[in-house]
Amino acid sequence: MNIEEKLELMKRMFNPKNIAIMGATDKMMKIGSFVVMSVLSCGFTKKIYPINPNPKYEKKKIFGIDVYPSLDKCPEPIDLVGIVVPPNAVVDSIKQAIENDIRTAAIITAGFGEVKTEDRQEENKELVNVAEKGGLIFVGPNSMGLYTSEDKTSPLHLGFGFMMPRPGNLSIVSQSGTIGTVLCSSLEKIRYFVSSGNEASLTLEDYLEYYAQDKETKAIALFAEGLRAGSRFKDICLETTKKKPIIFLKAGLTKTGARAANSHTGSIAGSLNIYKSVFKQTGVIHADSIMEFIYLIKGSQYLLPLPKNNRLRAGIISGGGGFVVHLTDLCEKQGINVIDLRTEPNGPKLIDDISNLLPFYWSHNNPVDMVATNDFTLYQKIIDLMLNSGCFDVILTMTSASFRERIESMKPMNEYGKRLKEMMLPVISKRMNDTIENEINICLKHPDKRIIYISFGSSSNNPIYEKYDENKIMVVEGDLELTPIILRKLQEYQKFVNSRATSKNQD
């Protein structure tokens, strides 16, 4: 089957008018039960046909839905079938699907290309041959399924995993179901997610090309242990990154990791240097860790496009000196310009304006050390002054929105400590709500500027920050060192896009 035919069938797969689930069951903790529940809980409003030939399901229901013994008993043609039957029944299930003119499937079942025994390799070959001859494409096998919100009124999660995405503009391919689940749980607003598994039929490159052509996809995230078609991948990326960012996390870099990748998805892991060379040539943003991956994905949606400066002009502000000094060091190491206000055209005036608000012993330059003032309203006033000055492209600062979490985590040693904690909590709670509102408002007031809030919280999806995410405001939690790295990598991408645009105009 050629690429054009695959992409045409994928339109049906990502926006089916109905689905069937072979191996559906009402036995809790069984994969067939999880898949049905995932479909029901994600907001899918179209027809669902559970398939199970076991006589005990005759004229029965699974979670309130009528069960059918086979696909040919369904009252209408099926667009997409999920397969969660035992490994020895998968090929027959695909044959049954083809006989009923079904052309798209998601195979959750494992035990094929990743198993290196002769019998399982032969079974994998038969699966591929049967599907190709029948004109059927499929996700997997050894997959956790897919999610699509192409129809926002009826999003579909045909798979399992502890996640409940909502419609959005981020599209993901992950060769690891676990990593994919982490991404969907941390980022939540998803256009498409595919746990590609063994990629016996559809490959990462196929999904990438589909996402690249989708106008509603604004950013693409890829987690891969290896590629099936390196030159095709490069060509797709080269065209795609001109319009939307691609963020890539590569696994299987070490000799042992490569061996694990081969046994996990059957993929062949390549040298990191080769991948980095391709990324540099195509503008793909490379992540070095899971947390960096998550924040680069967020940053690609919240911070881009960045100004066209060769070095970002950064302003840093905090209530404490140690924080700003360390962050300044980190920015300089990443090539981010923490500007000297004494040499900026509007810098001296900004120094005078801030001096009217802070004690005489404040730092009188950038970074701005607010010398532990207890007036929280000054934070917003000074940030406003900095943004209006025209001196900065981006402001880096701490957020006090997590103060309540920090107070609650205190473990008093005696009654005085308990009383102190009780005294602080209501004050901090009120202040936190005001802080969240103020920090969001100042970002909305300056849509052409970029503000990054840094928190010393420990999670990547703290509910405290849901309002920030809803307004596409960047909060980096738990790792101060990540912020300058994220900025540097996003700026490198921006430079790549700008250079491509310049070259095109010159041509």
Q: Which long-range contacts (CB under 8 A, 24 or more apart) does 68-71 make?
A: 68/20, 70/96, 71/20, 71/22, 71/96, 71/97, 71/99, 71/100, 71/102
d(CA 240, CA 233): 10
Residue 56: what pLDDT?
Answer: 92
pLDDT band at 189 (very low <50, low <70, confident <90, very high): very high
d(CA 174, CA 267): 13
Which residues neighbour 482 within 8 Å (Cβ) at sequence distance 6 or greater?
291, 292, 295, 476
d(CA 206, CA 201): 10
pLDDT band at 408 (very low <50, low <70, confident <90, very high): confident
Residue 38 has pLDDT above 70, yes or no: yes
Q: Do domains 3-301 and 306-495 have the same CATH topology?
A: yes
Mean pLDDT over residues 120-142, rounded? 94
Mean pLDDT over residues 68-88, rounded? 97
Percentage of residues of the chain with pLDDT beyond 90: 74
- Structure token pair of residue 197: 């598994």
Residue 162 has pLDDT above 90, yes or no: no
Q: In 3D, which of 252, 314, 351, 273 has the Cα closest to residue 486?
A: 314
Residue 255 has pLDDT above 90, yes or no: no
pLDDT band at 23 (very low <50, low <70, confident <90, very high): very high
Higher pLDDT, 438 or 404: 438
Residue 449 has pLDDT above 80, yes or no: yes
Q: Which residues pair with 451 in a beta bridge?
A: 395
Residue 259 has pLDDT above 60, yes or no: no
Residue 66: what pLDDT?
Answer: 96
Comparing 212-226, 246-260, 376-390, the range with the smallest average pLDDT is 246-260
Residue 256: what pLDDT?
Answer: 60
Mean pLDDT over residues 435-464, rounded? 84
Higher pLDDT, 392 or 427: 392
Comparing 126-130, 296-300, 406-410, the range with the smallest average pLDDT is 406-410
Residue 215 has pLDDT above 90, yes or no: yes
Residue 264: what pLDDT?
Answer: 47
Residue 198: what pLDDT?
Answer: 93
pLDDT band at 473 (very low <50, low <70, confident <90, very high): very high
Residue pair 210/183 in contact by the 8 Å Cβ criterion: no
CATH number of the structural domain 3-301: 3.40.50.261
Mean pLDDT over residues 194-212, rounded? 97
Residue pair 257/270 in contact by the 8 Å Cβ criterion: no
Residue 329: what pLDDT?
Answer: 95
Mean pLDDT over residues 331-346, rounded? 94
Of these ranges, 137-146, 260-269, 494-503, the one predicted with the greatest mean pLDDT is 137-146
Mean pLDDT over residues 337-352, rounded? 96
- Structure token pair of residue 60: 């029965």
Residue 268: what pLDDT?
Answer: 46
- Structure token pair of residue 375: 């007036």
Q: If you average pLDDT over every residue of the chain, what do you get?
A: 91
CATH class of 306-495: alpha beta
Q: In 3D, which of 237, 159, 170, 164 has the Cα closest to residue 196?
A: 159
Q: Map out the domains of the chain as residue ranges.
A: 3-301, 306-495
pLDDT band at 431 (very low <50, low <70, confident <90, very high): confident
Comparing 27-41, 212-226, 424-438, the range with the smallest average pLDDT is 424-438
